[in-house]
Amino acid sequence: MNKLSILVVEDDPNLGFVIQDNLALQGYDVLLGRDGEEGLKLFHEKKFNLCILDVMMPKKDGFSVARAIREQNRDIPILFLTAKAMTEDKLEGFRTGADDYITKPFSLEELFCRIEVFLKRAQSASAPEKIIMLGNFIFDYSNFRLANHLSERTLTSREAEVLRLLFLNRNRVLKREEILKAVWGDDDYFLGRSMDVFISKLRKYLKDDPRIQIVNYHGVGFKLEINGQN
């Protein structure tokens, strides 16, 4: 059985070594890039199952690396390492296509749990799943694909999860905390702000069909309405 492969890009040599060494002990195949340029070079040379990116790095920062990765691969999970107080960094990370973040300092156990969750989701995406008809869009949740006669795009895993949850609960107000706990596993204030970024992206993706609306109920939650579809 092939090992799952993880790219770690971290310019702190001590932290980078600790992450690489401990993930290797967990059975993963791990490559370490010591700056953004080296990390991106490694990404282009090998197929990975997950990317872990530090935000502040020389040559290319984590945001630039994430954007470049997303141009090549919309599916691979991206986990950012961020400073605890840098809320704007976290929001910018989600805007660039990251799936989640972990704040420094963190425990290795927390990192292992986050990685396991993402890799399980990525692997389960290949399992058969019903195609969802969403207005004039075809939403293939298994492959994170959203398409209509005008365009086709690949969603990130988080975008796909949020859209699927909204669809499964369409025509009812889905509380913010329900979405946060189902998709992120927590409902703290910052995650609520980051979720708004995902909702805005989904609205943009679905704007070609005016029958589809994601209605914001201020302070409560969101409701997916599809005029003419139950």
Q: What is the pLDDT of residues 109-166, one digit of tens each?
A: 888 888 887 777 665 554 445 678 888 898 988 888 899 888 889 898 889 889 999 9
Q: Which one of 100-104, 195-199, 212-216 scores highest in mean pLDDT?
A: 212-216
Q: Are residues 15 and 108 in the same domain?
A: yes
Q: Are residues 212 and 111 in the same domain?
A: no
Q: What would the pLDDT profile of 32-79 be if each residue is shown by its tens digit?
A: 999 999 999 999 999 899 999 998 888 898 899 999 998 888 778 899
pLDDT attached to residue 128 = 44
The last residue of a domain, from among 94, 124, 154: 124
Number of domains in the chain: 2
pLDDT attached to residue 38 = 95
Q: Kindly indicate the confidence band of residue 2, based on its pLDDT and cuts at 50, 70 and 90.
A: low
Q: What percent of the chain has pLDDT over 70?
A: 88
Q: Are residues 89 and 143 in the same domain?
A: no
Q: What percent of the chain has pLDDT over 90?
A: 34
Task: Give the integer Cα–Cα distance in Å for 173 and 203.
Answer: 16
CATH number, residue 139: 1.10.10.10
CATH number, residue 48: 3.40.50.2300
Task: Give the integer Cα–Cα distance in Å for 92 and 53.
Answer: 13
The last residue of a domain, from among 97, 124, 151: 124
Q: What is the domain range of residue 175? A: 132-226
Q: Are residues 9 and 117 in the same domain?
A: yes
Q: Are residues 109 and 13 in the same domain?
A: yes
Kindly report the pTM of this predicted structure: 0.59
Does residue 1 surpass a pLDDT of 50? no
Task: Give the integer Cα–Cα distance in Å for 10 and 24.
Answer: 16
Q: Are residues 108 and 152 in the same domain?
A: no
Element (H, E) at 32: strand 29-33
Q: Which one of 41-45, 78-82, 185-189, 191-195 scores highest in mean pLDDT?
A: 41-45
Q: Are residues 119 and 25 in the same domain?
A: yes
Does residue 5 surpass a pLDDT of 80? yes
Mean pLDDT of 198-213: 92
The last residue of a domain, from among 73, 108, 124: 124
pLDDT attached to residue 130 = 67
Q: Are residues 88 and 181 in the same domain?
A: no
User: Cα–Cα distances in Å, from 156 out to 23, 55, 96, 145, 194?
Assistant: 24, 19, 11, 9, 14
Does residue 170 surpass a pLDDT of 60? yes
Q: Are residues 71 and 98 in the same domain?
A: yes
Q: Are residues 48 and 95 in the same domain?
A: yes
- One-letter identity of residue 17: F
Contact 139, 163 (CB under 8 A): yes
Give the chain's largest Cα–Cα span: 57
Q: Are residues 19 and 112 in the same domain?
A: yes
Q: Are residues 84 and 20 in the same domain?
A: yes
Q: Average model confidence (pLDDT) for the chain?
A: 85
Element (H, E) at 70: helix 62-72
Cβ neighbours, 10 Å, residue 186: 10
